[in-house]
Amino acid sequence: MPDSDSLDWKDPSPQQMVERITSKLTSGSIILMHNGAKNTPEALPMIIDAVRAAGYEFVPISEIILEGDYTTDHEGRMHTTEQ
């Protein structure tokens, strides 16, 4: 589950999206954005630069989603299921 929602569908300014996303970043964050939102194309390069400047890197979702049996808690965090 995404834990850093850009709310881009509400048409915030690109800078507002950058601030919203970077203020919630943690290791393993998943950023939610929509390809049809008005200001997303302008905001995306700034978000990428800001995320990298904060010391984070982009990885495929397959690298952070757990494999095998797991549960997801009410905050969207995944936990392995002991067998």
Structural domain of 57: 4-80
Question: Which residues fall within 8 angstroms of residue 12, CB to CB, at 6 or more apart?
Answer: 6, 20, 39
| 54-78 per-position pLDDT tens digit | 999 999 888 877 788 888 888 777 7
Model confidence, pTM = 0.74
CATH number at residue 62: 3.20.20.370
The reported pLDDT for the residue numbered 16 is 96
Please state the φ and ψ torsions of residue 72, each to the nearest 5 degrees.
-120, 125
| 12-45 per-position pLDDT tens digit | 999 999 999 999 898 888 899 998 999 999 999 9
The reported pLDDT for the residue numbered 63 is 84
The reported pLDDT for the residue numbered 11 is 95
**Is the predicted pLDDT of residue 49 greater than 80, yes or no?**
yes
* Cα 46 from Cα 17, distance rounded (Å): 9
Overall domain count for the chain:
1
